[in-house]
Every structure is written in structure tokens, then in C-alpha cells.
A and B are shown apart, each in its own frame.
Chain A
Amino acid sequence: MSQEILIKSAKIIDQNSKFHNKKMDVLLKDGIIKKIDKNIKATSKQIVYDQKNLHLSPGWFDMKVNFRDPGFEHKEDLKSGNNAAATGGFTGVACMPSTCPPVHTKSQVEYIKNKSASMIVNVYPVGTISYNHEGKEISEMFDMHNSGAIAFSDDKKPIKDSGLMIRALQYVQGFGGLIMSHPNDTSISHNGMMNESNTSTMLGLVGIPEIAEEIMVERDLALTAYTNGKLHFSTISTAKSVALIRAAKKKGLKITAEISANNLVLDDTSVESFDSNFKLEPPLRNKKDIKALIKGVKDGTIDTICSDHCPEDVEEKDRDFQDATPGIIGLETCFSLILSALGEDVSIDEIVKIMSTNPREILGLPLPTINVNERVELTLFDPKLKWTYNKVYSKSKNTPFLEQELMGRAIAIFNGDQVADCN
């Protein structure tokens, strides 16, 4: 028997709940929402959350994280990654296959599922599209799917071979699998270090032209149409990619798209400091692209925003820009970044939809809802809470946001009968 949890006077943010936008008390017990009422009396045996400006939504979901387990557990393992996700307010994450060995057979899928089974944040492994992450032959996606692989991606290794992409898009149709594309034509972005721009010219860093991404978005749209398949674009970053996807959605193509929170809040002028925490993939783009990404989120072209959590140890990051490995951690700051970029343009209802409903719909997962007798999978948060990012739960500390004051934070997550406070 677990302890009862009482949440006092929280604004419910859930468009599928009859209490949507109402301030209610919510009682949780044994992993079930027991009661929702205007006023539930607290008892001494309960854990009570009672503070101002509480909001309660279905648990948030991050479609793109890296937990580095197995293989690079010194950067992150399933436990520390789980802690970071919980601190960021997430109750579910899709975990990329860039491990060692990569998640390319059911053994790795089952390892991740089993090892994370009792943890508070649900971890959904993504299997590779190609065997051994090599971009040559398709992997055993059916077997991985049956073992619990939620989708398929070669992570940041784009599928260069168009024929392989066709076969992947076709093959998964037999069992309803989802292919994710990381669009980047590496014959164009070759050795690129940052967005090709005035800044890259001045810094002498090899530029990654926007067209390297866009040309592969165009290709993958064509291949999706040709195969009548279903495709999810991971972490797009340019204005034209947004426009291409918008037009393709209008035509009825079965595509979805996601961006990284990093690309919403930072632009490529940050690189002027040569700080390796601004070396990202996709690279930070310019202000015009940021504007287009925001517009894409507002009009529904962009379905979801991920943290693109990439833990790297100090040996990989504390180097000069060129030698440093790209990527930053993001689970713990993701919500604050999204709010700071979208807060004035997008309602909190929409942000919750982007962070909770849409990713689950893309992945075909059941949607948690805030109604009596529903299973508990909830995030309690305060969008106005000011906090300083000075305690990092991830094993790696590669983030430019350390010691910065941020606004908006998860207070606690509830998943089944487990609860975690987010500080």
C-alpha cells in the first residue's frame, strides 16, 4: 500500500479532462487518481503539495534523449538519465540507440526495458534503422519492435543511402513501425563545425549550410510519398525545412516533425566565444530560422520539442571548439527553455500538448488523462517559478545554462505509485 498524495488547488491543464483549466484538489493513491474535487481535506498521513501557482498536466514526454547505457555509462546511465528526466518533469522518454553496442537487436532493447522497468520515468528504446548503425543493411526492426522498440532511427547518423531509406519506410509498414530521419546531407556538411554564416566566416570554422538539411528533408518527403510510408523528422533547424514540412503536411503526407529546445533559444552568434557548449548538431542557426521555428510550432507544423539530451564528459567537451564533441544535456532545462522561447506566443495549454500529447500520439502510446480512476502519469509544475540551475542530476555537466536563472519548473512527477520531487 502506497501513501496517499494530495495536490491542493492545482490548475488542471488537460484538454481531455472535464476539469481542464479548473483549479482543483487531486487525490492520488496506489497509482490511480482517486478523487478530484474543489476541496479535499488533508489528513496527517498524506504527502501534500500545497503552494501557489500549481499546474497539473499529463506527464511530459521527451522524444529524443541519449542515456549512453550500455557502453558509455561514465557519461550517463539509465539511472542517472532517469533522475535527470524526472527532475525535468518528464514521465516518459524515447531513448536514442547511440550506445555501444548500438541498440540494433532485441538484446539491447530488452536490456534497456528490463533495466529501467522499475524506474519512475518510462524509458522507450529506439532501435537503429541500419544494422550496427552502419547505414548499409536494415536491422531486425520487427524483432526489436516486438521487444519494445518504440521507433527506429540511426540517431545523428543520417541515412545517406536513399535506397536504404525506401526499404526502411516500406519494411516497417508490415508492423506499424515508425522511422525517424535526422536530415543532414553529410557530403555537403562535410567537416562542418557550425552554421554557415557571417559568424562562421569570421571564426574560420567550416560552415554547415542550411541546404545540407533541407535537401534531405526534400528527399525524405519524396521517399515518404513514394512508399506511402510514415516518417518523423528529428531536430530540424531551418526556416526552409519548416516550410517544406508545412507544405507536405498540407498535401496529406504522413509526416511529423520535432525541433530541439536548444535551437529555439540560441543562435549561432553564441559560437563567437568558441565555447564548445554551443557546438551542437543540428548547429545553432540564425534569428530568422528561430522565428520560423516558433511560427512552425504555433501553426502545428512542428509537433513536438525535444531536449536532445546529449551527455558528454569533460574530456569530450573541455577542448577547443573543433576537437570537442557536439551536444549538450537538456532534460533538466527543457521546459524552462521552451517557456522562454514560446511563453509570449503560445498558451500553456498548447505547450502541454506539445510536451505531452503530441509525442505520445506520434509514437502510438496511450495518453494519460486527469480524470477519476485513471492511471497516474502526471507532472506538477509552476510556469512562473524562478530558479537557478546549480544542481545537475545528469552525470555529465555539459550545458551553457549552468548557474543561470531560469523561469518555469516542474515541482514533482507522479508515475504509477512512484513520486519524485524535481529539485
Chain B
Amino acid sequence: MSSLSGDHLLGIKQITEADINLIFDTATSFKKVINRPIKKVPSLRDTTIANLFFENSTRTKLSFELAEKRLSADIINFSSSSSSVSKGETLVDTVKNILAMKVDMVVMRHPNPGAAVFLAKNIKAKIINAGDGAHEHPTQALLDAYTIRENCGDIAGKKVLILGDILHSRVAISNILCLKKLGAEVMVCGPATLIPRYIESMGVKVELDLLTALNWCDVVNTLRIQLERQSIKYFPSIREYVMQYGVNKEILDGLDKEITLLHPGPINRGVEITGDVADSKQAVILDQVENGVAIRMAVLYLLAQEI
């Protein structure tokens, strides 16, 4: 049985191209499963998974939960805002308490970069990072790349634009790492205040003009504006953001090619993209959601091989 090279999925940084392809192949099998009338397999029977969400999440949590249920795992859920945790029990204590209940795997989202790495050093369980601050969100990057491959073919040589709030985005970091590992060219675009100063060190191009960027790319991944992460204002108003970086039908129709459009959700309709674009056939947003379950099943399944 093939398995992943590491014990955990902490980030794309720690996995290899072979790991990514193994996850994709496994996801393809699981995608068939979840499209069958009986969508459940017994693969993770007797495996207990804790979903620890120290930060708000709707779709990632649902997606993991569904993936776990489809694999017949036993699951427990814990949600807490970061402030109540930081005031009292420390992260390690919270998790140790939960592990004392004999948990095999932990899926964790946390507002602080490095929280998953910290946890992996401190407890004995398989850790899957479901997003740690602005650091990584590996399953999102995997499902995005998988969706691009499914819709556009081989990723190598594809030109992918990541648009929006790069500074506060774990999706951007994980996507860049994943796409580069698979041989894509990557460009980031957004207001200069939301582009990290040293982002080019990750081997990406930077473009501040939306139209130039869209003309360059085959695929655009429009990130959500993370207003909740912005403790200070990085642009004066949503209105002005939309004027410069909002993707609408008119702009897309003006391009001399049809590009594929991704969005990790939840969409602020009329902000990053207009409603008609979100609902158009160019947008593969709902494919991403479906593939998300298959990718998460694959990751859980592959990591559980060594329990």
C-alpha cells in the first residue's frame, strides 16, 4: 500500500510531488465512491478523528466532516473562538484533553501560523492542518490544483493567477507551493498593500493591473477579501476595491480567450466576482466543493494507513 512520505499533513511545503499525485489518484477513486448510490466505504472504521476548529469555518469543517463520515470514521467536533482559548487553557492542554479520549487523528484550524507544526511536536496523533493563520491550508491547495487538472488538463506549464488579498491568505501560500511543485507558472495580483513584499522569493510574478494579469493567465483563483483578518485598512473601501480588482462579465468577455475561474469560498458576490460570473460555466466553484470532499477523503485515508 502506498502512503504519504510524512506522518502529518502540515503544509504543502512538507510534501513531495509524488505525494501530491498519490493524493490525486486516491481522490479520483473516492470521487467515484461519492457519486455512487451508496456513498460510504468502511476504510476508516474504528478510527477516531477530532475536528478542532479554533476559528470560524463553515465549508472546510463540513467538507472534512463529510469526508470522515464517508470513510466510516468516528468523529468528534470542537469549536471555539481563539480568544476564549488563549485566555484559559493552552492549545496543547485542550488537545491533550481530547486525545485522552483516544483520538487517532486531529483536523485542526487555528488562527495562528505554525499552530499545526506546534501541535505535531507536542502530541501523538496524526495532524491535518485545516488552515493555520496566514501560513498554509494544504487541502484547499490540493483541491484547487485537482480541480484545475480536471478542467484544464496537466498543470505543468499552466499559467495560474491568484487574485486578491495575498497578504492574509494561507490559500495563496499553499496554492503557490502546490502549483509550483506541479510545474505551473504563478502570478499574484491585488492592491500593493495586500501583496507581501518578498512574495517574489516564492518564484511568482507580481502584477498590480487586473487586465494585464487576466490577459496573461489560463486560470484565475480569486481569493476572498478577508476583512476579519485586517486589523487596519489596506484599501479605502470595498467600492474602490471592486473598481480595480472586481472580476465581472464584461472584463472576461473582453479577453481573447476563455479562462477558468476558481474561488475558495465563501464568495462575497459583487466584491471579488459578480454573481453572473460566479454562476457562469467558466466558474468551477462547485466542482471545487465536490472535489474538496474527495481530496480530504484521500488525505485522511492515506494518513490513516500508518495508525
Q: Which residues of A contact B (CB under 8 A)?
A: 190-191, 193, 196-198, 200-207, 209, 273-274, 315, 318-323
- Subset of 27 A-B contacts with CB under 8 Å: A190-B231, A190-B232, A191-B231, A196-B197, A198-B198, A198-B201, A200-B196, A200-B198, A201-B197, A203-B135, A204-B113, A204-B132, A204-B133, A204-B170, A204-B173, A205-B113, A205-B133, A207-B198, A274-B114, A319-B91, A320-B115, A321-B112, A321-B114, A322-B111, A322-B112, A323-B86, A323-B112
> Are the CB atoms of A320 and B197 closer together than 8 Å?
no
Interface size class of B (residues with CB under 8 A): 20 to 34
Q: Across the interface, which residues of A come within 8 angstroms of B197, CB to CB?
A: 196, 201, 207, 209
Shortest beta-carbon distance from A323 to chain B in Å: 6
> Are the CB atoms of A203 and B202 closer together than 8 Å?
no
Q: Which residues of B contact A (CB under 8 A)?
A: 13, 86, 90-92, 110-115, 117-119, 132-136, 170, 173, 196-199, 201-202, 231-232
> Are the CB atoms of B196 and A203 closer together than 8 Å?
no
> Are the CB atoms of B199 and A322 closer together than 8 Å?
no
Give the residue of B91, B117, B170 whose beta carbon is less than 8 angstroms from that of A274. B117
> Are the CB atoms of B90 and A319 closer together than 8 Å?
yes
CA distance A207 to B195 in the complex (A): 12
4 nearest A-B pairs in the assembled complex, by CB-CB distance: A204-B135, A274-B114, A204-B134, A322-B112
CA distance A422 to B13 in the complex (A): 44
User: Interface residues of A: mostly helix, strand, loop or mixed?
Assistant: loop
> Are the CB atoms of A201 and B198 closer together than 8 Å?
yes
Contact flag A322-B196 (CB < 8 Å), given A201-B201, A202-B13, A315-B90: no
> Are the CB atoms of A205 and B118 closer together than 8 Å?
no
> Are the CB atoms of A319 and B113 closer together than 8 Å?
no
Which of B13, B111, B114, B134 lies at the interface centre, i.e. has the most chain A CB atoms within 10 A of its CB?
Answer: B114
> Are the CB atoms of B136 and A274 closer together than 8 Å?
no
Closest to A273 in B: B117
Give the residue of A191, A207, A209, A320 whose beta carbon is less than 8 angstroms from that of B114. A320
Q: Across the interface, which residues of A come within 8 angstroms of B202, CB to CB?
A: 198, 201-202
CA distance A204 to B199 in the complex (A): 11
Q: Across the interface, which residues of A come within 8 angstroms of B132, CB to CB?
A: 204
Q: Across the interface, which residues of B come within 8 angstroms of A319, CB to CB?
A: 90-91, 118
CA distance A191 to B115 in the complex (A): 17
CA distance A207 to B197 in the complex (A): 9
CA distance A322 to B116 in the complex (A): 12
Contact flag A322-B114 (CB < 8 Å), given A204-B132, A209-B197, A315-B90: yes
Closest to A197 in B: B198
CA distance A153 to B303 in the complex (A): 53
CA distance A273 to B232 in the complex (A): 28
Shortest beta-carbon distance from A209 to chain B in Å: 7
Contact flag A207-B133 (CB < 8 Å), given A320-B112, A320-B118, A322-B113: no
CA distance A319 to B113 in the complex (A): 12
Closest to A196 in B: B197
